[in-house]
Amino acid sequence: MASTLSERVKLFCLAHAGGTASTAYAALGDLLADVAEVIPLDVPGRGEAPSRAVRSVDDLVSFFGESILDNVDGPWCVLGHSFGAALALQVARTTERLGRGPACCFVSGRRPSGTGRTRVPRARPRSDEELLEQVASWGGVPPEFLANPGLRRMAANRLRRDIEFSDQLHELRDQAPVAAALHVLTGRSDPLARPDEARGWVEHSTGRVTFDEFDGGHFFISTNDLVAPTIATYLTTYSTTSGVPA
């Protein structure tokens, strides 16, 4: 049975490096409409988000945390893919310190922090063409960006900044685990975050930690039809009628 609007948990979604959440999660919002209100959070200046100075990854985490807490009065969850997964965990940490943390955190297509830098080679001295071609080979650059020289430059600049922030998050060590449940999603053919590597997420929560593997590469979250039903199954346990699991 579908949940009523008042019962649906809010699911805030953070995009991959270079991505726009309002675009990346449009389909997921429709697929989860019965169980969750999906709220994509764009990086300032992208998609639907107003421009705002973001000088560090901490600034970005603060922006997302503030955006979430201004819009919740009940259970909420956060989902991030790739770079967005690392951001999601940091958002969970910062909001938990305020006593308003999420019921759960979905981390998709990401190795846990402390395992070294992203496997995208450093943006410099690589050309825009090389960087975009590599990320496009994983399905991470929309075709319209590749076809337009101006959009290509914008996409490359976004990637460079996001990869720098992503590397900083990969190198974090000795971080306190979160209390929120972690639901770890991986692609069996993902060259950036193999399922065996993702097992390290178990060290990052004192709560429930689950692991689900799907056929597909790095962007399995967008290409595998089983991802949305899996997320929905978990989300039904966090509705306002069922409460938040211990």
pLDDT in tens, 178-205: 999 999 999 999 988 999 999 999 999 9
Query: Does 225 reside within a domain?
Result: yes
Query: Does 3 reside within a domain?
Result: no
Interatomic CA distance for residues 56 and 69, integer angstroms: 20
Predicted local confidence at residue 123, as pLDDT: 38
**3-state DSSP assignment of residue 71:** coil
> CATH number, domain at 222?
3.40.50.1820
Query: Does 55 reside within a domain?
Result: yes
pLDDT in tens, 42-63: 988 776 766 676 788 889 999 9
Q: Which of 66, 64, 47 is nearest to 169 (CA)?
A: 64
Query: Does 151 reside within a domain?
Result: yes
Give the domain extent around 164: 9-238
Residues of the chain with pLDDT under 50: 1-5, 122-125, 241-246
For the chain, how many structural domains are there in total? 1
Query: Does 16 reside within a domain?
Result: yes
Interatomic CA distance for residues 83 and 226, integer angstroms: 22
Q: What is the pTM of this model?
A: 0.84
Query: Is the peptide bond prior to 245 cis by the omega test (within 30 degrees of 0)?
Result: no
- Backbone φ, ψ for residue 95 (5° rounding): -75, -30
